[in-house]
Amino acid sequence: MGLSLKIKNLLLISLIFLGINSLKSQEKKTGFKTGADRHELYLPLIKGKTVGIVTNQTGLLSDKTHLVDFLVKNKVDIKTIFAPEHGFRGDADAGEHIKNGTDAKTGIPIVSLYGANKKPRPEQLYGIEVILFDLQDVGVRFYTYISTLTYVMEAAAEQGIEVMVLDRPNPHDGYTDGPVLKSGFSSFVGLHPVPVVYGLTIGEYGKMVNGENWLKKGKKAKYTLIPMANYHKKQRYGMLERPSPNLPNDQSINLYPSLCFFEGTQVSVGRGTDLPFQIYGSPWTKSLPYQFVPKPNYGAKNPFLNGQTCFGENLSGFSEDLRELNLEWLLKSYRYYKNTEQGFFLKNLFFDKLAGTDVLRKQIIAGKTEKEIKASWKRDLENFEKIRTKYVVYPD
């Protein structure tokens, strides 16, 4: 058992190492650059201006220099760092309250954009002329960085401040899938009528928010996109840094759109293990073969089903590069779930917020197949595609 765990840990380190080096090799071969690495485009635009920056541990240049450090070195006047969910250094649990503070390295004040302060307040933006936005998104509606972008754009529009997005790859680009969010189901894990996988980079997404008048009171932000160079939407790019504590490698990101639905159920997705978003299981799905016990760790201080033996599946060796949602794991868990005291879905119906509708939950309860469920998404996805196409910057 000890040897098996060591092998898994070595594989995990190898995946992260390969992801970083594949990105560097792609840069050398194809001339690919993130928006942050195209400083010749944005430095002249912010020269002499007072800047706010929304970023975290993913705001890296290709040489692993953090964007904040690069800007300070280039004498850019950064007034405030705004940190999204998981904090500026990216080490906070999902949903954890993050305090405001000061960056120890630069002395720049940090303001948390999470909890009660998801949208920057006017006094927090006072004196700022442009907001740089640089976060590694994962291209999934319930991943909250696109909600943070929306609130930043809204606050900036109200104060007449420019928003400049330094674009990064979307690991789920080039396809769309899942139910489109319906009216009445909007929340921080889904603000807009888009599918679970929407096939746009975060920079393209911001263009769509502006263009579709999704900001409050129909306002538009002054919006500048610093595009990537030689980026292709159907190519996959390794991450320079994990986007949040429980997405540690490319495999977890690959599985995330399909497995995150479990967060609205009595099934763990492996928070509190070495394989978050690569395994799933519950004490009440004993027919499934894999066993694990969630315990407090770096990415989960009090994980769901803490200390309980869970039965499920280990997908860390899943070899397919998913370009669609896989619902079979969810449907299988529902079929095998045996608990007379509590239903499969959490009583707070967080599942419906993740799905953006109550229809998916009702379809699962009714015993619909994956094929039947996906067929019900077809018309909404076709309608969304007409909107999405207007904002595509990079070749599909």
The hierarchical CATH code for the domain 30-238 is: 3.40.50.12170
Phi, psi values for residue 229, rounded to 5°:
-105, 135
Secondary element (H or E) of residue 180: strand 177-180
Please give the share of the chain, as a percent, with pLDDT higher than 90.
Answer: 81
* Distance separating alpha carbons of residues 132 and 70, to the nearest angstrom: 13
Tell me the two tokens of residue 157: 């529009």
Nearest residue to 283 via CA among 344, 354, 330: 344
Average pLDDT over the chain reads 91
pLDDT tens for each residue of 275-309: 999 999 999 999 999 999 999 998 899 999 999 99
pLDDT tens for each residue of 303-342: 999 999 999 999 999 999 999 999 999 999 999 999 999 9
pLDDT tens for each residue of 40-82: 999 999 999 999 999 999 999 999 999 999 999 999 999 999 9
pLDDT tens for each residue of 342-360: 999 999 999 999 999 999 9
Question: DSSP of 194-235, one letter per residue?
Answer: -EEE----HHHHHHHHHHTT-SGGG---EEEEEPPBS--TTS
Would you say residue 96 has pLDDT above 80?
no
- To which residue do tokens 């609205």 refer? 264
Cα-Cα-Cα-Cα torsion 109, 112, 300, 284, nearest 10 degrees, comes to 180
* Distance separating alpha carbons of residues 375 and 154, to the nearest angstrom: 35
Name the pTM for this structure: 0.90
Q: Where are the domains of the chain?
A: 30-238, 250-365
* Residue 68 near residue 135 (C-beta atoms within 8 A): no
Tell me the two tokens of residue 338: 């045996």
* Measured CA distances, 177 to 141, 245, 252, 354, 374 (Å): 11, 25, 18, 14, 9
